[in-house]
Chain A
């Protein structure tokens, strides 16, 4: 179970923000190149690997750059990119697992904490040999998984993203999502249980007692203007004035802002939700594919690529050998105050409740908007 406790989060924050210390640890000269785990570079056998990459913003920048460089260094390896949201793409992976278990839809990829926990329950992941991953030693302890099914590359957080032109003053709390002034102006990703959790907490509920949240959003469904199913669609409705506020990832929100969108991210005063991003490999891989995937995971954890991931995705880097990009220092999401107040989420509970919660999302929320 990958519960992120306050203590662990403090450790994560401290490590990420300790610029000078981290800088001294940072292997800036390390290119991350060269297979150390006996990966694709040591064999001439043709291997094709499909990598799951988050869709939207700059989330595909690092994986695509990595794939290009890796294939140039390992001509026998072909990396295909499968770009999708975890929400939409994971069920397709599961369908492939059930129909053609020896031909997984993707061989490895980037998965958020929720999908990674879901994959644990579905038997989706292979166990990584942390001992054979030379860069794993630098990964923050909080991002190492007890079952070794995946390893953290970075950590994002969920709070409030809003249109700066449409909403003044800026929202400050989760309750701003159901304030009267945003009635009919809220948008959510399809099946956004985080919004329900925060409404549940505001009404005496919790992650294990979500009924108050479902009841609340059933009554406040008219606050929602539309439901989206992809990041580009999200960006569109938030920037064209259709909707003005949502709850979403800090990294994605700030990538949109960096791209010129009139959007910003606010960590709510009640606390944001920390969401680690893991690299995992998928069951059903051939031995050669698994070997290449291990090597890719290891190289992605190297300072060069981990740094690039953190910079492009605007996340806390998962490796202690990487310092937090300087430009992040002033961002609210990376302040100690924000990290101290993260709301703990038991991702296993979330994964176990997915089927029931999706049903309630459809019937209580979507059916009433």
Chain B
């Protein structure tokens, strides 16, 4: 009992912050979302019109779809790049090299998102480095449109969010018992088989946690879609910003709830998968015994 009380005591500062700044804000947003809006003013009363408007309009469904597409693409690409990166980093033995690799990998987190995004705009522009290289190699005759497109926003988000994929995978890789891989090799498994049958099942939880983080951050990203999307890539976060600017706080509140629901659904899905993989991983490890 005393241990439990002490636990709650330690948690209380975090709970207080959450209660005030998250739950408090959500309550305010809920109230806003139910208020009628006309002109540029919230009116007294209660209505579900804002929710009806959001759910019934194809435009908002399109923005919702783009948001999910961006989240899915960023997560998939981050996983494809992040897993081998984590594996390679795990294999680096020299501390100096490892430090250099960590620095390169985590450098996006050391600079402002605005600076990073403008850096990407210089690279991705019609006359940027990538297009100049493509033209220099005679691979294209005209510019390949990367900037102000979903593709450019996705690439930039993957760069920015890659550390959030690599870090959990790296953590799990460090916990994998080397003797399991040695045992697999002793039993005649090839390196590929060992990787596929031993390493992957034991690290899939790290990958899922990484996916959870990257997806949640990608769907709520604002600066990158705003700066690199050039108005062409409309996601929920930019929509919320626009509506707040237009003082349409009720609709912005509805959109905020939509973003929250989307994030909760994704977290729920990944948690469910995590639960399933825990069982699977345990079975995989227990099977040889």
Contact = CB atoms under 8 A, between A and B. Distances in A.
Interface of A: 88, 91-92, 94-95, 98, 122, 184, 190, 225-229, 237, 240-242, 355, 358, 362-363, 366-367, 369
A366 B246 contact: no
A91 B231 contact: no
Contacts of B145: 184
Contact of B234 (A95, A355, A367): A367
B234 A91 contact: no
Interface SS, B side: loop
Interface string B77-98: 0000000000000000000000
Given A225-B148, A355-B40, A242 B231 contact: no
5 contacts: A91-B245, A225-B148, A228-B231, A242-B126, A369-B232
B230 A228 contact: yes
A355 B39 CA distance: 7
B231 to A, nearest CB: 3
Residue of B57, B125, B127, B232 contacting most chain A CB atoms (<10 Å): B232
Interface of B: 39-41, 57, 59, 62-63, 125-127, 145, 147-148, 230-232, 234, 242, 245-247
A190 B231 CA distance: 8
Contacts of A88: 245
Contact of A91 (B39, B63, B247): B247
Given A369-B231, A369-B232, A362 B242 contact: yes
Residue of B39, B41, B62, B246 contacting most chain A CB atoms (<10 Å): B246
A331 to B, nearest CB: 29
A229 B245 CA distance: 12
Residue of A91, A92, A190 contacting most chain B CB atoms (<10 Å): A91
A121 to B, nearest CB: 8
A226 B148 contact: yes
A240 B230 contact: no
Contact of A367 (B59, B126, B148, B230): B59
A263 to B, nearest CB: 16
B126 A226 contact: no
B134 to A, nearest CB: 15
B31 to A, nearest CB: 15
A248 to B, nearest CB: 16
B127 A241 contact: yes
A366 B234 contact: yes
Contact of A98 (B41, B62, B230, B232): B41
A227 B231 contact: yes
Contact of B126 (A228, A240, A358): A240
Nearest to B131: A241
A263 B147 CA distance: 22
A92 B147 CA distance: 29
A363 B234 CA distance: 11
Nearest to B230: A226
Contacts of A190: 231
B231 A226 contact: yes
Contacts of A122: 40
A94 B231 contact: no
B147 A242 contact: yes
Nearest to B121: A236
A227 B148 CA distance: 9
B182 to A, nearest CB: 56
A95 B39 CA distance: 13
Nearest to A227: B231
A362 B59 contact: yes
Given A88-B245, A240-B127, A367-B234, 4 more contacts: A92-B245, A227-B231, A240-B125, A358-B246
A88 B125 CA distance: 25
A95 B125 contact: no
A355 B148 contact: no
A355 B246 contact: yes
B62 A91 contact: no
A237 B234 CA distance: 19
B39 A242 contact: no
Contacts of A95: 247
A98 B32 CA distance: 14
B247 A94 contact: yes
Nearest to A242: B126
A249 B66 CA distance: 33
Nearest 3 interchain pairs by C-beta: A227-B231, A226-B230, A226-B148
A98 B127 CA distance: 44
Contact of B231 (A92, A241, A363, A366): A366
A363 B62 CA distance: 10
A358 B245 CA distance: 12
A362 B147 CA distance: 20
B127 to A, nearest CB: 5
A342 B150 CA distance: 40
Contact of B148 (A91, A241, A242): A242
B197 to A, nearest CB: 47
Contacts of A227: 230-232
A240 B121 CA distance: 11
A122 to B, nearest CB: 7
A94 B41 CA distance: 10
A233 B105 CA distance: 29
Contacts of B39: 355
Contacts of A91: 40, 245-247
